[in-house]
Chain A
């Protein structure tokens, strides 16, 4: 099973709402990622969890709050977002890059298309 699933597919929220994005993988990967992708731009890394611990936070505003409840699940909690946060949010997973022989390719989910009104 080489699949990363994300829910919901689409989300529309107001600036005062609180919502969560969910991501799940069953490939036994121990690294999980959140990316943000604006239209016609490449994905930008937001967070990396390695062995359920936050290892990278790319200076993301605190209105985005990641959570990794277990090795298969990754959440992104959203609160008080701005219209400029509207984007495609992609989740990915991989084996952690511990050595040169470990597999690093990241497998991506279909994304959640978020619109903030």
Chain B
């Protein structure tokens, strides 16, 4: 069974603060993918990152960084120097290898206050 937990339902930060969104997952599969998606108020889900289960290297893309730790089954997402445009709902998701269905967490609503 697959399960993704995003314990933070809502987070508010002041612009330029750093913020970390937590994601914990459960799976019995030895190989799988993890994803983060952003959903702004317009509704479209925007793909941010995909991670293979065997690749535990942290990744940085501009102000975004991701910390994947297999030992704790976590895939956390940090936004550095947050901006108002970062305000959105962020979903963490899991997919087993060779499958097509994404298991989404419940999402974290991030509000960045100017």
* Structural contact, B43 and A88, CB atoms closer than 8 A: yes
15 A-B contact pairs sorted by A residue (CB < 8 Å)? A41-B107, A42-B107, A43-B45, A48-B101, A50-B100, A88-B43, A90-B43, A97-B100, A104-B50, A104-B100, A108-B37, A108-B46, A108-B47, A110-B44, A111-B43
| Size bracket of the A interface | 20 to 34
* Structural contact, B43 and A97, CB atoms closer than 8 A: no
Judged by a CB distance under 8 angstroms, whether B102 is at the interface is yes
**How many angstroms from the CA of A111 to the CA of B33 in the assembled complex?**
24
In addition to A40-B107, A104-B95, 18 A-B residue pairs with Cβ atoms within 8 Å of each other are A31-B100, A42-B91, A42-B106, A42-B107, A43-B104, A55-B100, A56-B101, A88-B43, A94-B100, A99-B97, A99-B98, A100-B98, A104-B33, A104-B50, A104-B100, A108-B37, A108-B45, A110-B43
Give B13-66 interface residues, CB cut-off 8 Å to A: 31, 33, 35, 37, 42-47, 50, 52
Judged by a CB distance under 8 angstroms, whether A113 is at the interface is yes
A43-61, CB under 8 A of B: which get 1 and which 0? 1010010100001100000
Could you say which of A31, A43, A107 contacts B47, with CB atoms under 8 Å apart? A107
